[in-house]
Amino acid sequence: MTAQLIDGNALSRQLRAQVAQRTQALKTRGITPGLAVGLVGENPASQVYVRNKVKACEDVGFSSVLEKYDASLTEEQLLARVAALNNDPSIHGILVQLPLPKHIDDHKVIEAISPLKDVDGFHVASAGALMVGEVGFKACTPYGCMKMLESIGMQDLRGKHAVVIGRSNIVGKPMAMMLLAANATVTVCHSGTADLAAMTRQADIVVAAVGKRNVLTASMVKPGAVVIDVGMNRNDEGKLCGDVDFEGVKEVAGWITPVPGGVGPMTITMLLVNTLEAAERLQV
């Protein structure tokens, strides 16, 4: 192995310790950061994610409210719950776990969350703020990827070419905006890209966020490049794996994030950071 690992668990521990400290400081002023997490239905993966988020809140001293609803909950009922949480002063962050059942419009629900409590960073106002460089919540997964780059000394990406594979609203697009804000030259690749390997071979930084195994293999990577793997997939043996062929790419890359133990824990860490900031902003 030539690549060095970017350890998302270790970095998360550091950042969460800082969040816990700042939380204590807020508590001395009578404020406990509060996150409300809504889960509709029984999606097994969502149940695990939501449990991890609530546990992470408890570990840093937040209060968290998990609201579990039956899959038959109507869109109107969910919107009414969001409205109530928007008006609840003990709640600083609201997260509705996606995907929602088919009869509920994700977009409508996200837009109903107050931008002041949109700790997922999914609201159009948050996406717009990121685009024009205004204050707003940043989507947690790309924000975590930026923190991972910072942790290896890559805060200013002037002169670097970053290639993002994937164009989702949750990861690919905000990732591209954050890399651009850090002065990288950014290329966004997707299913309509003619020659993905030709793009990734030019990249100093590759972020793979497609949700498909082996999207990035060793021959597609420039020696020494930084490879960030956002994927969460299962291989044929049922083992968790990313979008990157880790075994091959680690022999070529300079830095690489593992799956598990890479971007995953950072996503939750940045949710904590956003929720803390939502509570702190009340102070000013």
Beta bridge partners of 281: none
Active site residue 53: yes
Give the number of other Cβ atoms within 10 Å of residue 194's Cβ: 7
Asked if residue 207 lies in contact with residue 164, where contact means CB atoms within 8 angstroms, the answer is yes
> Site residues for ligand GUN, window 154-193 (CB under 6 A)?
none
> Site residues for ligand GUN, window 214-273 (CB under 6 A)?
267
Q: Which of 14, 18, 59, 97 is catalytic?
A: 97
| Least gap, CB of 151 to ligand GUN (angstroms) | 20
HSE, side-chain direction, 13 A CA sphere, residue 61:
18
Active site residue 117: no
Residue 95 as a binder of ligand GUN (CB under 6 A): the answer is yes
Cβ nearer to ligand GUN, comparing 162 with 209: 209
Q: Which of 118, 120, 204, 229 is catalytic?
A: 120
Residue 126 as a binder of ligand GUN (CB under 6 A): the answer is no
Asked if residue 217 lies in contact with residue 249, where contact means CB atoms within 8 angstroms, the answer is yes
Collapsing DSSP to helix, strand or coil, 187 comes out as strand
Active site residue 120: yes
Q: CA angle 152-252-226, nearest 5°?
A: 25
| Least gap, CB of 226 to ligand GUN (angstroms) | 22
Write down the residue that tokens 């929720």 correspond to.
275
> Site residues for ligand GUN, window 134-153 (CB under 6 A)?
140
| Least gap, CB of 267 to ligand GUN (angstroms) | 6
Tell whether the torsion through CA atoms of 197, 198, 202 and 206 is positive or negative.
negative
**Stretches 58-66, 73-81, 90-98, 196-204: which one binds ligand GUN (CB under 6 A)?**
90-98
CA dist 105 and 157 (Å) reads 37
Cβ nearer to ligand GUN, comparing 98 with 197: 98
End-to-end CA distance of the chain: 49
Q: Which of 4, 7, 27, 53 is catalytic?
A: 53
> Site residues for ligand GUN, window 24-83 (CB under 6 A)?
none
Count of residues of this chain found to bind ligand GUN when the rule CB under 6 A is applied = 7
**Stretches 91-99, 194-202, 222-230, 234-242: which one binds ligand GUN (CB under 6 A)?**
91-99
| Least gap, CB of 209 to ligand GUN (angstroms) | 11
Cβ nearer to ligand GUN, comparing 26 with 148: 148
The closest residue (CB) to ligand GUN is 98
Asked if residue 139 lies in contact with residue 174, where contact means CB atoms within 8 angstroms, the answer is yes
CA dist 17 and 29 (Å) reads 19
CA dist 209 and 96 (Å) reads 21
Catalytic residue numbers? 53, 97, 120
Can you give the binding site for ligand GUN, defined by CB under 6 A? 95-98, 120, 140, 267
